[in-house]
Structure 1
Amino acid sequence: MFQLDLIAPIGDLLGRQAAKAATKIAYQDATRGVTYGDLQHRTRNLAGHLADNGVQSGDCVAILLPNSVNWVESCFGIVRAGGIAVPISIEASESEILYRLTDAKCRAVITTAAIATTVRTIAATAKIDLLVVPTGPAEEGDASFDNWSQSPAPAPARDPLDIDATAFIVYTSGTTGQPKGVQLSLRNLLWVTAACWSPILGLNDQDKLLSPLPLYHSYALNLTVISILATGASIHLMEKYSTREAVDLLGSGDFTIFPAVPTIFHYLLDTARNGQVTLPGIRACVTAGAIMAGTANAEFEANFGVPLLDGYGITETATMVTMNSATGGRIMGSCGLPIHGLAVRIVDPVTLKDCAPGEEGELIVRGPSVMAGYLNKPEETAKALRDGWYHSGDLACADANGFLTITGRIKELIIRGGQNIAPAEIEEVVQTLDIVLDCAVVGLPHAHLGEVPGLFIIPRDKEFDEAVVIDHCRAHLSSYKVPQVIHIVTEIPRTGSGKIIRYKLRELVS
């Protein structure tokens, strides 16, 4: 059931949870945890110090930190100061950091002491007036996350009440071009909490999540940061994913929900084949960020006896557009039904006419979670947002009951002699082979056909036979979809949300 009361300003949500459960651990990492009571005080202090040091309402403040309690406190502190939080990957290159700092015109950045020097050099070289706030101890009077979060500030937290103003700028993965800054409000994000995570996943104050998701992605920002606060749940944040660490933590029985991306569930399945892996206490796993093959989903549930709920989300819609529920009907390989309040259509990309059930077309969506637009990119915003509808660029089809299945990206389609091939269809077939650990398909140039499917594989072991893969594809795919060439690789490049970065694979053979 949709929960309207979950949509509120950050300051109000913090006050609500602190009054209800002040001593409860809200967020935890490998080194420390913070209670809801302390979270309210520490983020109020940080917000006041940011305001006292020149951060104005509407100013952008970057977060350049690993997954941690510090990251979460920085996020809430920035928003409570009236600023706009700009998450940046801790693994970003100097050029990637510079692009985001300049594109968003960041006034300040909260980062680690180790990276602070690099950031100052970047800012000085680019002649950016940037307040750098490092974590760790500092001299009295110096900007310091630790000092600021622990001590009251002369300026109060502004605690803005306008939940429709831009509060976050989340950069897209940039798998096909220059990353775009997606402007999201609290209403955008909390709508998904109220319409998806709370009523469909059943997220509540009795839940404790374990999450390896990178916080600079919208999936994690929405579910593992904002929604934890709104529902009063608690979470353990892994700094980065490690199968061994995940297996140990999941086996403890301390957790009820495990959100991840398809690649991680493949790794857990692979580990389960070679030894005992148990998920005591886990009532649900969630996958999003990339396509999860129905066969892999079914195998996971058969192995672990835990529902693995697949959903479809986009940064531009503050994540979830559709979601499967553990109760009621589910179709393996489908990403479920549209969440409350969102209108979803599948249309012909050229004519924009609605497709019949079973027909493939572009997925477009309208509703309260849709972004305001791309930062500093009016032409791309106008192309993506038309008459209130966000055009996703994703190909999908729906059955007669409305269950959606994502079939690929318009730009990723391989056109072989005039015939369209979706890479995901080939990948799902190949992933059913035990000799394949991971794979990806891209279109490779061909002198006569234009493009042909090229298959990149990480073998499970040294005893790998390409002929087995080709024969398997011939048995399960139309002849024109069978890969023309196989390349053995040691890694499939992916974004933090699990999407395959296909152009990097093309570069390997160009």
Structure 2
Amino acid sequence: MAEQRISRRVMNLGHLLTQAARRHPARPGFVWGDRTWSFAEMEARAAAIAALLRARGIGKGDRVLVHSRNCEQMFVAMFAIFRVGAVYVPTNFRLLADEVADLAEMSRPRLFLCHEDFSAHAEAVAPLTGSVIRIGAELEALMAQHAGTAAPAEPVEYDDACWFFFTSGTTGRSKAAVLTHGQLAFVVNNHLADLLPGTCEEDASLVVAPLSHGAGVHQLTQVARAAKTILLPTERFDIEEAWRLIEAHRVTNMFTVPTILKMLAEHPAAGRHDHASLRHVIYAGAPMYRADQQMILRRLGKVIVQYFGLGEVTGNITYLPPALHEAEDGPAARIGTCGFERTGMEVQIQDDAGRALAPFETGEICVIGPAVFAGYYDNPEANAKSFRDGWFRTGDLGHMDAEGFLYITGRASDMYISGGSNIYPREIEEKLLTHPDVAEAAVIGVPDPLWGEVGVAAIVVRNGQTDEATLLAWMAGKMPRYKLPKRVFFLPEMPKSGYGKVPKRLVREALEARGLLPLAKT
């Protein structure tokens, strides 16, 4: 007799908004400029979008690609997509139209929700999907047509996909990390337990990062506790306005990256506005210089929380709580650590054979636990490389001390992190090589006091003439600004190994030998 399969039915993640609306219908749930939506209004709007999706034939397992700036419609659409059992597939709104088209070709969406500001993106993706709805006036009108329609949540199981979290490998080619209803429910609880203890309906959270990635996961935790979400009124990062909103709304928590946190803390507006309400200012996505950490602690107090975690583990690897952040150097200051294991997660440092290493021995950082994703969508090769004996291999190198504090000492790939964004050299190099005067190209990441790291390009030219300014201007039309190298240097020939390869180590050494690195401070 065949063994009977037992269902692992779990709560549909879209139910988080329903719960908040039931408990606190009149409380403000979302604030954007001069508009405020209560949780009851958010629930009604999510139900209308869910009814619209069902009317369009979108159901369980279907992918909905979303390309949008931060806005209220994008936020409530996420819950609607969850509710019908479909998969939320958000992109970074800074991506170019052809890049979003590549993501559509890979994820094969049934519907594209595209902000009305991105007409070129809508045109590029339209041939690859069933239909396009523009976020803005068009979606608002369609929501009105479905207002008041019942939209019960689709039954889901633990391993049912609900979010494709785009990430990349050493090649820079995007992969979709599959996040599931059960896994993300654990992540929400884990964030609340480790990063945001005590969060409740009296709290308020300011959004200063794209909702398509880590900030979106962070805001799920706020809805789970019926806390208020506040958007900056414009796309521009206005630091003065951010501090005004922190004071006006008594903001208690934020999710950000070290670059943005540094800019917030060192701005004069930090001294002009009351920020005593802040309890948890979370930073992740890149290392933070010790001098910046000390400055932030002295200006804001012990309110900062660090976590280390990749999209594949949805941030749940290690964390360093406020109490362990010390402004003064000394025995109590754990300088350079990214903290200890998240609740319910296990971290192990492994050698190339998968053996656990002793404290202070350097190896690859590997992790197991309920926050680990379900694998990459339609990419068995990447899955085979990323898992070993059940452990997810992060590709980062580091060591743990005897007490279990983790220290990241390097990266296994050439990827570098600029302003919290992962930058993959090969992607930039491939664009550079399409220029008629570029024969060879290599991009490396170098330290930068503002962005953490920036890229510099080493170029060997062929027939023709070009200079740094001309090449940078040409590149500006080929990729998002945050991916542009800060400098372009020209070499007579590219350094190569005995196998004809171009190791980035040799490129770095060649630039250093010519006095081009480190970059001059600006």
TM-score, normalising length from structure 1?
A: 0.76
After superposition, where does 1:200-211 map in structure 2 within 5 Å?
200-202=195-197, 203-211=199-207
Matched residue, 1:247 = 243
Return the offset for 1:161: 3.3
Deviating more after overlay: 301-310 vs 282-291 = 301-310
Which residue of 373, 376, 380 maps to 1:374? 376
Aligned residue in 1 for 2:519: 487
Match of 1:466 in 2: none
Question: Aligned equivalents of 2:451 and 2:345: distance in 1?
Answer: 36
Q: How does 1:443-454 map to 2 (within 5 A)?
A: 451=506, 453=508
Aligned to 1:85: 88
Structure 2 counterparts to residues 357-506 of structure 1, below 5 A: 357-412=359-414, 427=447, 431=449, 439-440=453-454, 451=506, 453=508, 485-488=517-520
Q: Deviations over 1:168-213 (max 9, x none)?
A: 1111156741111111012222212212333442133322111211
Q: Is residue 2:64 matched to residue 1:61?
A: yes
In the superposition, relative to structure 1, how do residues 486 and 278 fare at CA in structure 2: closer, same or farther (>3 Å)? Answer: farther
Once residues 158 and 112 of structure 1 are traced to their aligned partners in structure 2, the CA distance between those partners, rounded to angstroms, is 25
- After superposition, the Cα gap between the structure-2 partners of 1:231 and 1:317, relative to the gap in structure 1 and judged at 3 Å, is same
1:301 corresponds in structure 2 to 297
- Name the amino acid aligned to 1:95: D
Distance 1:369 1:119 in 2: 32
Q: Which residue of 2 aligns with 1:107?
A: 110
Q: Structure 2: give runs of 5+ residues left out of the alignment.
A: 1-9, 325-331, 417-443, 459-493, 498-502
C-alpha distance in structure 1 between counterparts of 2:160 and 2:451, whole Å: 44
Instruction: Give how far 1:236 is off.
Output: 0.7
Correspondence for 1:259: 255
Q: Amino acid of the residue matched to residue 179 of structure 1? A: S
The code of the aligned residue for 1:487 comes to L
**Cα distance, 1:145–1:184 mapped onto 2, change above 3 Å:** farther
Which residue is 2:181 aligned to?
186
Q: 1:487 to 1:277 in 2, by over 3 A?
A: farther
Q: Could you say what secondary structure the match of 1:296 adopts?
A: helix
How big is the shift at 1:326? 2.7
The answer to whether residue 136 in structure 2 is matched with residue 136 in structure 1 is yes
Q: Matched residues in 1 for 2:415 and 2:73: separation?
A: 41
Distance, in Å, in 2 between the alignment partners of 1:93 and 1:278 is 39
Pairing 1:323-334 to 2, within 5 Å after superposition:
323-327=319-323, 331-334=334-337
The CA distance in 1 between the partners of 2:216 and 2:452, in whole Å, is: 27
Distance 1:120 1:269 in 2: 38
- The structural deviation recorded for 1:333 is 2.7
Change (3 A) 1:315 1:244: same
The Cα offsets for residues 48-72 of structure 1, whole Å up to 9 and x where unpaired, read as 1111112122110111111111111
What's the counterpart of residue 193 of structure 2? 198
Instruction: Give the CA RMSD over aligned residues.
Output: 3.3
Q: Offset at 1:380?
A: 0.7
Which of 12, 18, 30 is residue 15 of structure 2 equivalent to?
12
Aligned pair partner of 1:232 in 199, 223, 226 = 226
Q: Indicate conservation of the 8 Å contact 1:343/1:367, yes or no.
A: yes
What is the SS of the residue equivalent to 2:205? strand
Partner of 1:96: 99
One-letter amino acid matched to 1:358: F
**Is 2:216 the counterpart of 1:216?**
no
Alpha-carbon separation, structure 1, partners of 2:264 and 2:85: 41
For 1:437 and 1:272, how far apart are their aligned partners in 2? 20
In structure 2, C-alpha distance between the alignment counterparts of 1:488 and 1:261, rounded to whole Å: 24
2:35 to 32, 35, 40: 32
1:281 & 1:119 partners in 2: Cα distance? 40
Q: Structure 1 segments of 4 or more deviating over 6 A?
A: 441-445
Amino acid at match of 1:451: L
Structure 1 segments unaligned to the other structure (5+ residues): 1-6, 139-143, 415-422, 457-469, 471-479, 491-510
Aligned-partner Cα distance in 2 for 1:146–1:489:
51
Contact persistence 2:253–2:281 (CA under 8 A) = yes
The residue aligned with 1:493 is none
Q: Identify which range, 293-302 or 254-263, moves more after superposition.
A: 293-302
Matched residues in 1 for 2:314 and 2:61: separation?
19
**How many angstroms apart in 2 are the aligned matches of 1:40 and 1:145?**
15
Which residue identity lines up with residue 371 of structure 2 in the other structure?
S
Q: By how many angstroms is 1:390 displaced? A: 0.6
Q: Are residues 1:159 and 2:154 paired? A: yes
Total equivalences in the alignment: 435
**% same residue:** 25
Matched, 1:279 2:281: no
Stretch deviating more after TM superposition (164-173 or 233-242): 233-242
Residues 410 and 131 of structure 1, relative CA distance in 2, 3 Å threshold: same
